[in-house]
């Protein structure tokens, strides 16, 4: 028996509604400090996090340093610079086939992977934590594409 997309969507929503959610994860975040972002990164298992300046974090993800830039408290941008040569075709293919992140070659021709998390209007803490995991998984996929 083929299940309709509506049935599958309703089943998924039911599971999500039943799943326990920690009270902090439901908290709506409209602004975030560098210190709060550091705490969230560490809560997601990234222990090696350092604050640099007023709005920059350096976090070790999957063996490489990632910048987490907190812009005006309302946008978090994750940025990974890869120290390898990359073909523009690979970068373009990434952008055509992947969601949530963008890739480009910087002025030196090095590949960069970025993802923005916009807090304008408010998002849940759970969504920020999900964005951290999403970038980490995207980083692994990006490294595989390039290496």
Closest by Cα among 91, 84, 44 to 64: 84
The count of C-alpha atoms lying within 13 angstroms of the C-alpha of 109, restricted to the half-sphere facing its C-beta, is: 4
Domains and CATH numbers, the chain: 27-146 (3.30.1460.10)
The pTM for the full model equals: 0.82
pLDDT category, 87, cuts 50, 70, 90?
very high
The pLDDT value given to residue 27: 87
Mean pLDDT of 70-82: 96
Which is higher by pLDDT, 72 or 4?
72
Closest by Cα among 120, 115, 88 to 104: 88
Cα–Cα distance measured from residue 131 to residue 99, given in angstroms and rounded to the nearest whole number = 12
The pLDDT value given to residue 83: 87
């Amino acid at each position: 028996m083929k299940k309709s997309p509506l049935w599958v969507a309703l089943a998924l929503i039911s599971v999500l509604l039943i799943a326990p959610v920690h009270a902090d994860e439901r908290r709506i975040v409209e602004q975030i400090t560098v210190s709060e972002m550091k705490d969230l990164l560490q809560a997601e298992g990234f222990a090696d996090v350092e604050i640099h300046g007023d709005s920059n974090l350096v976090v070790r993800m999957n063996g490489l340093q990632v910048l987490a830039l907190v812009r005006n408290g309302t946008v978090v941008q994750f940025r990974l610079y890869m120290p390898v040569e990359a073909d523009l075709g690979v970068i373009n293919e990434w952008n055509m086939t992947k969601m949530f992140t963008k890739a480009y070659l910087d002025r030196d021709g090095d590949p960069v992977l970025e993802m923005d998390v916009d807090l304008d209007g408010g998002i849940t803490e759970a969504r920020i934590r999900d964005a951290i995991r999403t970038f980490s998984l995207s980083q692994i996929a990006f490294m595989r594409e390039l290496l």
